[in-house]
Structure 1
Amino acid sequence: MKILIARLNHETNTFSPVATPLPSFHPSYGEDAYQASKGTRTAIGAFIDLAEAAGAELVVPVAASANPSGRVAAAAYTALCDAIVNAAPGCDAVMLDLHGAMVAENSDDGEGDLLARVRTVLPEAPIAIALDLHGNVTPAMMAHADIAVSFKTYPHVDMYETGEHAGRLLMRMLQQGMRPALAWRRLPLVTHTLRSNTGEGAMQRAVAAARQAEAAGMLAVSVLAGFGLADIAAPCISVLVVADGGAAAAQAAADQLAAQIWDERAGFVYDSEPLAESIARAAQLAAGDGEGPVLLLDHGDNCMSGGTCDDMAVLQEALRQGLSGIAAGPVCDPRAVAALVAAGVGASVSLPVGNKVPLTQLGIFPVPPTLSGRVAAISDGEYVISGPTYTGQRIRMGRTVLLDIGAAQVVITETPQEHWDLGIFTHIGVDPLAQRFLLLKSRMYCRPVFVPIAKAVVECDGGGVTSSRYAQFPFQRLARPVYPLDAETGLEAPAAV
């Protein structure tokens, strides 16, 4: 038995100005791809474990994953897909670790077009895919996959478990001759990422219902919130069901859960508070009872949704309102880093920081603010994550500088970064617990680490390319009407696909 296993992950924000060339994926090939993936808490790691336990011969042509950013360069998309497709001949089954929301310069349906190519080469081989909870499911994806399972957590902590789930079902197809039915239902509902937290609200209830359906006999039930910052036909929420045999039962389960989601559609919409009000509220919370810093989550410029990480709106408003005791960043500004490194530790400086990447599609051309202060520290920008996400992984931010401007200590890096760990501050000498405010360019992944030490959390929308204010995004390809961008009058859930 010969099984093709590969990973190709990218969540595409088509409005992001951050480029996505091949090096962004840090691809590894062949034996290197196998070694890089074996033993990891990822879907591909689970695939490898299952295939090896079954005594199969593994073909691992590529493992590639890039942070969310703009459309994948055509050459990169083609090269990575070619690596998978060219390895397919002669394989008996396929297990792919995909995201589900990849858009390339030459494909609006990155995963669907890849699966169609694989299916052409292997018309009879079973194909299982593991998807991110924020995947945008398409007809092509469903037409060419036999099994599809997505994460059930956000923040995502069940990547391995999802791969194990999908892979286990594929093994039943190979070893027991099971012929699953795959059903799905997509709703005209573009959700906000801040409402896909599986620990609360409508999304929590939807995932609970999915688990109940599995307990009642469905092989796998997934709720994919979708990724709304993709200008494609339907970046919408979907329900996927895998059943043993009965297509009608699978579709009924998908329709029932989709109806629950549609009834609670308002629970998937996030209303952004005006930034000035958010900062004023944070100041009041900081003055109240309790210990720890107030978190200012700059979710409009979140690198894990394609943000530039150089938007300065939240910091500027905080300084305008007189907040102090702030640790902020990282702000991605390679030019500022170079100038500060050249100045050296202890130097007094005055220079433009941030706001250097124009948000062209949004018509936003920010002016870099001038910050004056002292170069407090310089580091190589490396630390090791202590958990719970990506535990043990070494983070490399590029050269990193701490600029002390009095009211704030600003961490400036050469690359965009997510707040996986307190090490993002402690590695350069900043004690997060000693701050009144922590300004983080994050919306969700920071929470397992930073919320436990915080007095309060204030979500701040500075209006960048990961904002929840969808009205500011010039959608051209989105099929209308769709909730909540359009009025509900005449908008009904569609019939089953």
Structure 2
Amino acid sequence: MRIAIAGLSIEMMLSSPLKTDIDALQEYSGHEMREGNLWMIRGILDRLSREDDVEAVPLCWATALPGGPMTEAAYRRVLDRTLAMLVAQGPFDGVLLVNHGALEVDGLGTDADGDFVSAIRRSVGPDVPIGLALDLHGDMTPELLSSVEVVSVLRTAPHRDDAEVGERVAGQLLRVLREDLSPARAAVRIPLLVPGETAVTAHPPADDLYGSLAALDGRDGLMEANLLLGFAWNDRPWTSVTAVAVSDGDMARAREAATDLARRVWQSRRDFVVRMDVASVEDGLRRALAMDAAPVFLSDSGDNTTAGAPGDLTHVLSAAIDTTNDTTNDRGGDVVVAGITAPALVARLLEAGPGADLEITLGEEHVSRPPTERRVTARVMDGGPHLELDGFQPYRSREAAWARVQIGSVTATFHAQPIGITTPTHFRAMGIDPFAHKVLVVKLGYLHPQLEDFAAAHILLSSEGCAELDLGHLEWRRIPRPMWPLDTGFDWDPEANTYEAQGRRAAVLSGDA
């Protein structure tokens, strides 16, 4: 059997003013997919390698740092390349796709993951089964459900189980092929907006909900059950939490499992709250500097680049300058504020070179919030035309131009493109020893695993920006209402919000989806 592997895995934030264009993509060829220890793909390849009669054929895979909607040119580049390679290297007995579930394409007007996967379905025909791996922060539309046979979704946030997801989706596809199954899929839309920071899987209620999925998988006839939280910041008709179940052919079993899971999620709706240590910007900085532990991480959550925000805001940097000037901490300021998007400033700093002292205006390159005017003196410490990272990094291994400066006792890094500072490697590549500083500010929500594992403490800053956690501050026009927590006191019926698909037939709505 020959099984193709491809995909387009990017999380998009509609409200971000920075579009995701071709230069933001990290594209992998078949050889690079096989050798690169890549997200989810490594698990797929490992599972398929254990089958003597299976040839895994990696075609191409594209990813990028989360950002604003993908441009049509970038999307067509990836889709056309994928379709061409499916034809050139086919035929195939099955296809495995690694996507995200929150893909948006500028001007497309429909679910972009559904558009991408349905195009592949049309290319390979109705008789070639497709398996789909997704992030738990993605959505599941009827079009997407009807275009695939099996689905596997991440079950940890922060994400630690990508290899396991790859193994599970590959295992399901192999069952479909070997047993000639016609899987039944059922999805239940739950009217909840759940930002990722309110559903960290080490905390209630996500710990219990995701922890229960393995038991659902063990039900007779059920292949797999999954829970998608959706992408809570996108004002889309399909934005919601979704319970999904796939059986080996019995629709009643799939429907029962999805409905049971959906009911439990609905009953837990009041429990989806931020359970991390949360503080205002100023209070968080003061508390972090006063702690005995180090390093203390602070998340500039409103400008979270790994949710798609531009990373352009300088409010936390400005507050850090003020706080370190006032601090009585015996280590002085000792604050690093990393990952601010400011391309014009980076060019100016690099031109001046290390050792130069420049007057700069913080905030003059704000694009997601109004510009600010704060003049400070910055000493250029380091920088370069590219930031080279070792191995596969979420999300890119080679970042754009950057510069590191010293402003009083605060170290700050500026970047020509948005960047996700998610590993110690990012700091070291910029000449910063993360263990040698008291406070490290990153533009994240929850900490990604490699930072979480060595942080002495973590405080989530309730900062402003495209990714701020108070969803009531955002404008909503297209999501179906009522929607918790924007609306309360309404009844919800899972049966009226279920959609189903069997084999390659179109999804059948049994209610409003």
The corresponding residue for 2:486 is: 485
The corresponding residue for 1:337 is: 346
Q: Percent identity?
A: 26
The corresponding residue for 1:72 is: 70
Task: Say which SS state the counterpart of residue 316 (structure 1) adopts.
Answer: helix
The corresponding residue for 1:265 is: 269
Counterparts in 2 of 1:336 and 1:242: CA distance versus 1, 3 Å: same
> What letter corresponds to residue 146 of structure 2 in structure 1?
A
Name the CA distance, whole Å, in 2 between partners of 1:112 and 1:331: 33
Which of 436, 449, 454 pairs up with 1:434? 436
Name the CA distance, whole Å, in 1 between partners of 2:390 and 2:158: 16
Structure 2 residue 368 is the aligned partner of structure 1 residue 366:
no
The corresponding residue for 1:123 is: 126
Where does 1:10-49 land on structure 2 (aligned, <5 Å)? 10-28=10-28, 32-38=29-35, 40-49=37-46
Where does 1:186-205 land on structure 2 (aligned, <5 Å)? 186-205=189-208
CA-based RMSD of the aligned residues comes to 2.7
Counterparts in 2 of 1:23 and 1:433: CA distance versus 1, 3 Å: closer
The corresponding residue for 1:348 is: 357
Task: Say which SS state the counterpart of residue 430 (structure 2) adopts.
Answer: coil
The corresponding residue for 2:461 is: 460
Q: Is the 8 A contact 1:19 1:69 kept in 2?
A: yes
The corresponding residue for 1:314 is: 316
Where does 1:106-185 land on structure 2 (aligned, <5 Å)? 106-121=108-123, 122-185=125-188
Q: Which has the higher contact order (CA 8 A, sep 6+)?
A: 2
The corresponding residue for 1:240 is: 244
Shift of 1:110: 1.0
Counterparts in 2 of 1:395 and 1:405: CA distance versus 1, 3 Å: same
Shift of 1:462: 2.2
The corresponding residue for 1:475 is: 476
Name the CA distance, whole Å, in 2 between partners of 1:335 and 1:418: 19
Task: Identify the range of structure 1 (334-343 vs 80-89) with the bigger mean alpha-carbon deviation.
Answer: 80-89
The corresponding residue for 1:325 is: 334
Where does 1:71-110 land on structure 2 (aligned, <5 Å)? 71-86=69-84, 87=86, 90-105=91-106, 106-110=108-112
Shift of 1:343: 1.6
Listed one character per residue, the Cα deviations across residues 283-342 of structure 1 (whole Å, up to 9, x for unaligned) are 135324x32133221011111111211211122233344353211112122211221122
Task: Say which SS state the counterpart of residue 42 (structure 1) adopts.
Answer: coil
Name the CA distance, whole Å, in 2 between partners of 1:246 and 1:22: 43
Gapped regions of structure 2 (runs ≥ 5): 328-332, 499-513
Task: Say which SS state the counterpart of residue 257 (structure 1) adopts.
Answer: helix
Shift of 1:376: 2.4
Given the two structures, how large is their TM-score scaled by the length of structure 2? 0.86
**Aligned pairs, how many?**
483
Shift of 1:262: 0.7
The corresponding residue for 1:252 is: 256
Shift of 1:107: 4.1
Counterparts in 2 of 1:420 and 1:83: CA distance versus 1, 3 Å: same
Q: Is the 8 A contact 2:400 2:417 kept in 1?
A: yes
Name the CA distance, whole Å, in 2 between partners of 1:59 and 1:97: 14
Name the CA distance, whole Å, in 1 between partners of 2:5 and 2:249: 25
Name the CA distance, whole Å, in 2 between partners of 1:171 and 1:82: 27
Listed one character per residue, the Cα deviations across residues 433-486 of structure 1 (whole Å, up to 9, x for unaligned) are 3333211111234453256342x3221132111111222322332111111122
Q: Is the 8 A contact 1:188 1:234 kept in 2?
A: no
Task: Say which SS state the counterpart of residue 44 (structure 2) adopts.
Answer: helix
Shift of 1:80: 2.2
> What letter corresponds to residue 476 of structure 2 in structure 1?
F
Task: Say which SS state the counterpart of residue 112 (structure 1) adopts.
Answer: helix
The corresponding residue for 2:387 is: 382
Q: Is the 8 A contact 1:232 1:478 kept in 2?
A: yes
Shift of 1:194: 0.4
Counterparts in 2 of 1:353 and 1:489: CA distance versus 1, 3 Å: same
Name the CA distance, whole Å, in 2 between partners of 1:23 and 1:402: 23
The corresponding residue for 1:397 is: 399
4+ runs deviating over 6 angstroms:
271-275, 391-394
Listed one character per residue, the Cα deviations across residues 33-67 of structure 1 (whole Å, up to 9, x for unaligned) are 34334452432333344445354455544211121
Task: Say which SS state the counterpart of residue 212 (structure 2) adopts.
Answer: helix
Structure 2 residue 206 is the aligned partner of structure 1 residue 209:
no
Q: Is the 8 A contact 2:65 2:396 kept in 1?
A: no
Given the two structures, how large is their TM-score scaled by the length of structure 1? 0.89
Q: Is the 8 A contact 2:366 2:372 kept in 1?
A: no
Q: Is the 8 A contact 2:183 2:247 kept in 1?
A: yes
Gapped regions of structure 1 (runs ≥ 5): none
Q: Is the 8 A contact 1:328 1:411 kept in 2?
A: yes
Q: Is the 8 A contact 1:310 1:355 kept in 2?
A: no
Name the CA distance, whole Å, in 2 between partners of 1:315 and 1:161: 38
Name the CA distance, whole Å, in 1 between partners of 2:96 and 2:166: 9
The corresponding residue for 2:416 is: 414
Shift of 1:429: 3.4
Shift of 1:383: 5.0
Name the CA distance, whole Å, in 2 between partners of 1:104 and 1:365: 26
Name the CA distance, whole Å, in 2 between partners of 1:311 and 1:428: 20
Q: Is the 8 A contact 1:381 1:413 kept in 2?
A: no
Name the CA distance, whole Å, in 2 between partners of 1:144 and 1:326: 49
Shift of 1:493: 4.4
Counterparts in 2 of 1:383 and 1:26: CA distance versus 1, 3 Å: closer
Q: Is the 8 A contact 1:181 1:242 kept in 2?
A: yes
